[in-house]
Amino acid sequence: MHAKSNSPLPRRAHHHVGPATKVVFGVVGGFGAAQDHLPTVPPGFADDLQHRAASHQVGIEPQDPGGTAGQAAVQVAARGKGGVEHVHPEAGPHLHRTLQAIRATGAKAGVSLNPGTPAEAIDPVIDLIDLVLVMSVNPGFGGQSFIETALPKIEKLREKIDATGRDIILEVDGGVNAKNAARVVAAGATALVAGTAVYGGDPSAYAENIKRLRAAA
């Protein structure tokens, strides 16, 4: 588990399901007034990530129609060490090009799907991705309830991933907790992201919260 930080960057616990279960540090770019915006990469952003954990994820969410978010993803990938950069299809006009550019830096590339974005959005780029992130809430703020329609989307994505024969991570973020984790995994998820379920209480309870989530999955 990463050390507590005074940084305003939002935190998530990433629970990778399976024998290699681990928790890594994740950062999500802002969407909406409730979260920090990342229209460009702030100075020291990638360096800050490197000090926080051996592996990390950076998500660039929809922010403007000009593709600035995609450019930011490539900047972070080029300056970071390892990790996964995942981009929403709505973040810019050239998803395929953005994924190519991320992979060219040596980083892994992923696609994030909002609740209203269909599973089919990954079809044209599935050969370029190492991760699919299913948002089971609308990004913007923590504490939201899990959107149940995410489950059939996860099942559909599981079929698409299995058909490739590749080891693509299927991650789910939003409203995941000990009560629904088993259903999310049963639908096909291989990684769970938890925010409120882990950090919603006193810091002394973080370890127990993670233990409960792992046991449920």
Look up tokens 């703020």; give the residue: 141
pLDDT in tens, 86-112: 889 988 888 999 999 889 888 899 999
Alpha carbon distance 143, 47 (integer Å): 29
State the sign of the Cα–Cα–Cα–Cα dihedral 82, 99, 158, 118: positive
Q: Which of 123, 105, 104, 103 is nearest to 113 (CA)?
A: 123
Contact between residue 172 and residue 211 where contact means Cβ atoms under 8 Å apart: no
Q: pTM here?
A: 0.72
pLDDT beyond 60 at 32: no
**Domains in the chain, ordered, with CATH?**
13-216 (3.20.20.70)
pLDDT in tens, 169-210: 999 999 999 999 999 999 999 999 888 888 877 888 888 888
3-state secondary structure of 88: coil
pLDDT in tens, 115-165: 999 999 999 999 999 999 999 999 877 788 999 999 999 999 999 999 999
